[in-house]
Structure 1
């Protein structure tokens, strides 16, 4: 089981968005009204997180930077030319689609009056009941194929953002080089001087060993715990073997 720990606010937000998109995609393709409600709440959460005016600009700038870096590798004989060109082309298409989005990501959803009325009630615990939003209750009773068409349309407005996100996080994860290390009595420290990392990936050999991490610009500290029953996770007082990857653009 892989654990990922972001070391910057930007990567933290991208990972949260990735989680929301995964939830949206999983439940939007199902047929029940309850599943579609979960998908809609994920859409609303994506809109809330992507509403920052600089997110789209940041992604476009980072896509440009990464593309320029990849282009500079064209004359490197150690790089597979076909795969490099495929990556550059895919990145260019992703950037083009995101740049063509008018306004903020999901702007069409933000201008959808009915969806925004559902969003307002859904933010209240239990607030999307039939007596709160009768029109939403009526929509939930529609045939699955009709709701599926709506979900496909609404999710589609966010696909350019999702694609850009997948490209960026995919490139970041590929920069990590695996190291086999040992946490002495369940703890591990690493100096981070000399390079600014953005993501730490941890894969314990023992699936019952759960890592917890804290870090600053100089030092990373890992502690492995075990969770049983209703008690809080407890520190593991034995050596734990694991794989670590430090990722940075």
Structure 2
């Protein structure tokens, strides 16, 4: 049985990155198989997030920061220069589309079909045919045509989503999971390095889940018994990975 991984961001930027990554994953699933109208929910959440904040400048800074770090790694003994160069090339390629003057997703706003759906999707039961007859007309199209539409709409956000997913991939790769024990369901750790992300891995039959809180140098984990929905007083064996903000 596949283990469960829980993640807790320790700053607002990583919190936003994780949400955008999650929406990208939801949309990828909607494109991979016919989920009727469910793909619109993550699409409109993505529209909303990028309307509120233009993430480009922050992502570009993070890409440059990563390239600088990787260039320094090349000088280390036993460094895998081939792998490092591959990562540097991926980061540089991710920068290009972000440097375009047009705001991410602005072209999708001009799509009349998408605009009409987005205005009403926040309503309860808004997918009724009397509210959105155009949606029911679209759902009558073949899956291959709808799949192509979803792919096209998501393409508007690739310049932002692809570098964010790459940055999170690199962040996770810098910290390996190590065994840890939460005595009486509680674990706490202080760190000298600045952290950006705490990851907890549990077996699927653990029957508990972690509540993680903290900030850049310190975090705590409370394990909650799922059945009783209260703090567990048992010793919990788990695996922990702490990702540095300065990787």
- Provide the TM-score with structure 1 as the length reference: 0.90
* Whole-angstrom distance in 1 between the partners of 2:112 and 2:156: 15
Q: Give matches, 1:1-249, under 5 Å.
A: 1-31=4-34, 35-100=35-100, 102-192=101-191, 194-205=192-203, 207-217=206-216, 219-228=218-227, 233-248=229-244, 249=246
Change (3 A) 1:87 1:217: closer
Q: Shift in Å at residue 217 of structure 1?
A: 4.5
1:192-223 alpha-carbon deviations (Å, 9 max, x no partner): 3x322110011135632311112135532211
Which structure 2 segments of 5+ residues have no match?
none
* Whole-angstrom distance in 2 between the partners of 1:156 and 1:200: 30
* Aligned 8 A contact 2:180 2:240 in 1: yes
* Whole-angstrom distance in 1 between the partners of 2:216 and 2:87: 31
* Whole-angstrom distance in 2 between the partners of 1:148 and 1:247: 36
- Provide the TM-score with structure 2 as the length reference: 0.91
How many residues align? The count is 241
Question: Greater RCO between the two (CA within 8 Å, min separation 6)?
Answer: 2
Q: Shift in Å at residue 20 of structure 1?
A: 1.1
* Whole-angstrom distance in 2 between the partners of 1:52 and 1:79: 41
Q: Shift in Å at residue 227 of structure 1?
A: 1.0
Moved over 4 A (4+): none
* Whole-angstrom distance in 2 between the partners of 1:128 and 1:65: 44
Which structure 1 segments of 5+ residues have no match?
none
Q: Shift in Å at residue 23 of structure 1?
A: 0.8
* Aligned 8 A contact 2:54 2:103 in 1: no
Change (3 A) 1:47 1:3: same
